[in-house]
Structure 1
Amino acid sequence: MSISRSITQSVLRRAPQPAPEEPATDGPPPVDGTRVPAYLLAMSRSARRRGAETGRAARDLATDGLRVVTSPTVLAGVAAESAWVAAHVLTYPAGLLDDREREGRDGYRIEHLPPSRRGLLVSDVEAAGTPILLVHGLVDNRSVFTVMRRGLARRGFGHVMTMNYSPLADDVRVIADRLGRHVERLVERTGYERVHIVGHSLGGLAARYYVTRLCGDERVHTVVTLGTPHEGSVLAYAWPGRLGRQLRPGSSLLRELAEPGPECRTRFVAYWSDLDQLVLPHRSAALTHPDLDVTNVALHAVGHLSLPVVGAVVHGISTTLAHLDTAGGTVVPGVSPLAGRV
């Protein structure tokens, strides 16, 4: 047995020993002589690959964004928005004054209207006389509707009024409650049982809350929203206070507005633009609700403050408020159909 053990040990000493493994060349070098595990090398390669793909995607997005921003239509929209912002700064102080209708406005005269615009008043006195209430947005006042108000009056609408609320308002529900009280006074003064509301930005959200949560559909025939953050805006994260929280995507207020409302009788028309710099993502200004009668109108290269100004919007609202049947078509002769529905 001792001889056999001696021979075996001799053979083992003479057998070639395996060479030490070389460290991997495609990953981080060993630390303190310890080899890097294979799964860490795989994670490192995956991270480098994802980083390269992210870099390419960012470059492609920047290229596409630059191409869009430098398109002639968008540049024209940016210029128009800048011009209107400058003009709005000048008209803002006048918007702080009370809005009082001229006496004798209940009478209807058509000699001041061009022939192409007299059809509404002649064919449908009720549509022409139904009050239209314009509600401004955040930190704004009625002056934002200067152009629209004149445009609607020129098209034959006899009662176009505005409502101011405090620029320091910090709750959509409070604004909606005040809107409801204003509508009741308007109904009492004019004798019309139902009115139309056009809301810009936050004003549209207050109108929607009044109609769907405070039984305002009994008093409101049509709500038109312009650049209203129906699904919230990511910019609201930078706005302090309760109002900023309410305007964030997925807020408790927006969840409340998304609740069922099968009995709502009010029609909604929502205008949104791919150049709206305050409602992001832009599509959040479109209104989607299974129980509401909604028409969404997409606009191209129209800024947030330009929405109440551009001719296409004023004409579209005139068409809408002239009267819509249940299918969305116009029933007033001589009025062009609403276009651009999505």
Structure 2
Amino acid sequence: MAVAAALSFGLGTAVPASAATQQDLNATIKAGLEKPVADDVILGGSSTWKTPTGSGRPEDDFWKAFGNGLRAPDVAPPGANDWNCTPSDGQEPVVLVHGTWENAYDNWAYLAPNLKRAGMCVYALNYGILGLAQGGGLGSVLPGAYGTGDIAQSATQLAAFVDRVRSSTGASKVNIVGHSQGGLMARQYLKFDGGADKVDQLVTLGATNHGTTLLGIGALGRTINNAGIDVLGPVALGVGVSGIQQVYDSQFLKKLNAGGDTVPGVKYTIIASRYDEVTTPYQSTFLQGPDVRNITLQDGCGIDTSDHLAMSYSKRAVSIVLNTFGAKIATTPGGPAVPVPVVCGPNAWLIG
């Protein structure tokens, strides 16, 4: 849900999101229901997608990148979308997938240049572009507020983009990094659009893999909707089609997660933050499967208080991505290259 929900909470004191209260509220209300009677609301309109061009300035703070992105929403993050890039031996191209109400630049202005400096070919798209009248939600009136269209349709856009990357680089497989909806949508691609044979690793940051309660609001809305009172339909006008699909227990999520969280042959690294105020409870991002690593940023690094939006600007999160993809650095001039270590550093909640 990314910017859509984070902005609604405003600034405040960094406190880890509580899971028990949200779960208890939802369970209590659901206990009085007999059966679900309402389905997801999908408003009319087909989304489009774009390949960002040029090169935006590198940033180490989300809000700076967000401001830049408002002025130039379709610029590529620095280091991304070099269609003459040739992957180094043993490295797959990396495809970056932004979240809801975000774009390739503002989501990846920090990670993309770090991947490029590590010698990787990096690519990013702008997907799920849907106007307000077509169901993109109020945020879609902002320049570069993308990722608002139907997630299943967005997954087909990712499929086309990955095929272009593979054709350009000659690589048989890519690695994907997805933030928020970007991680969830990538899983849709893996399961239903042929991605399982074209992706080696998926890394997600705060992905809404099992939906979000939005600190209880989403769960309450879904519960009332299932009782036959359409409250999520009006909400869809505000948050957009993809926002409603990410609410806990949606029909989209039920279909995606039926039969298991993962697909064979793909390795998963799932990164969470205890301070995530959008994917709530934060543990709902974690997956179950034989090739899954579930990581909480604060385990071993309490000074990283990254919230949902700041995660892709966390030095720790970026180092985990680099380490996962086998990036190496020389610790001394002319010395042997060693794997990039996982580092610990401060990253402020909602400030970045």
- The alignment's TM-score, normalised by the length of structure 2, stands at 0.60
Q: Given the alignment, which residue of 99, 105, 125 partners 2:85?
A: 105
> d(CA) in 2 for partners of 1:277 and 1:135?
20
Pair member with larger Rg: 1
- Quickly say closer, same or farther: Cα 1:283–1:191, change in 2 above 3 A: same
Residue 311 (structure 1) aligns with: 315
Secondary structure in 1 aligned to 2:292?
Answer: strand
> d(CA) in 1 for partners of 2:263 and 2:310?
34
> d(CA) in 2 for partners of 1:257 and 1:339?
33
Matches within 5 A, 1:315-334: 315-322=319-326, 334=338
Contact 1:84–1:305 (CA under 8 A) maintained in structure 2: no
Residue 149 (structure 1) aligns with: 112
Q: Which amino acid aligns with 2:272?
A: W
- Quickly say closer, same or farther: Cα 1:95–1:337, change in 2 above 3 A: same
- Quickly say closer, same or farther: Cα 1:210–1:339, change in 2 above 3 A: farther
Contact 2:95–2:122 (CA under 8 A) maintained in structure 1: yes
Q: Which amino acid aligns with 1:138?
A: T
Q: Given the alignment, which residue of 191, 209, 213 partners 2:192?
A: 213
Residue 198 (structure 1) aligns with: 177
Residue 134 (structure 1) aligns with: 96
Residue 19 (structure 1) aligns with: none
> d(CA) in 2 for partners of 1:67 and 1:179?
34
CA shift for structure 1 position 196: 0.5
Q: Given the alignment, which residue of 88, 91, 113 partners 2:65?
A: 88
| Deviations 1:69-123 (CA, angstroms, capped at 9, x unpaired) | 7xxxxxxxxxxxxx934313322133423677447533x8xxxxxxxxxxxx6xx
Greater displacement, 86-95 / 175-184: 86-95
Secondary structure in 1 aligned to 2:72?
Answer: helix
1:163 aligns with 2:138: no
Residue 173 (structure 1) aligns with: 152
Q: 5+ residue gaps in structure 1?
A: 1-64, 70-82, 109-120, 324-331
- Quickly say closer, same or farther: Cα 1:210–1:293, change in 2 above 3 A: same
Residue 265 (structure 2) aligns with: 265
Residue 276 (structure 2) aligns with: 276
Residue 242 (structure 2) aligns with: 243
Q: Which amino acid aligns with 2:95?
A: L
| Deviations 1:151-193 (CA, angstroms, capped at 9, x unpaired) | 1122222x11111111263211011111011111111111101
- Quickly say closer, same or farther: Cα 1:160–1:168, change in 2 above 3 A: closer
Q: 5+ residue gaps in structure 2?
A: 1-11, 17-59, 130-145, 222-231, 299-304, 328-335, 345-352
> d(CA) in 2 for partners of 1:316 and 1:67?
23
Q: Aligned Cα RMSD in Å?
A: 3.0
> d(CA) in 2 for partners of 1:181 and 1:67?
39
> d(CA) in 1 for partners of 2:259 and 2:343?
28
Matches within 5 A, 1:66-85: 68=15, 84-85=61-62
Considering Cα pairs closer than 8 Å and 6+ residues apart, tell me whether 1 or 2 has the greater RCO: 2
Q: Which amino acid aligns with 1:133?
A: V
Report how many residues are paired: 234
Contact 2:102–2:147 (CA under 8 A) maintained in structure 1: no
- Quickly say closer, same or farther: Cα 1:337–1:258, change in 2 above 3 A: farther
> d(CA) in 2 for partners of 1:136 and 1:193?
23
- The alignment's TM-score, normalised by the length of structure 1, stands at 0.61
> d(CA) in 2 for partners of 1:142 and 1:266?
23
> d(CA) in 1 for partners of 2:342 and 2:196?
22
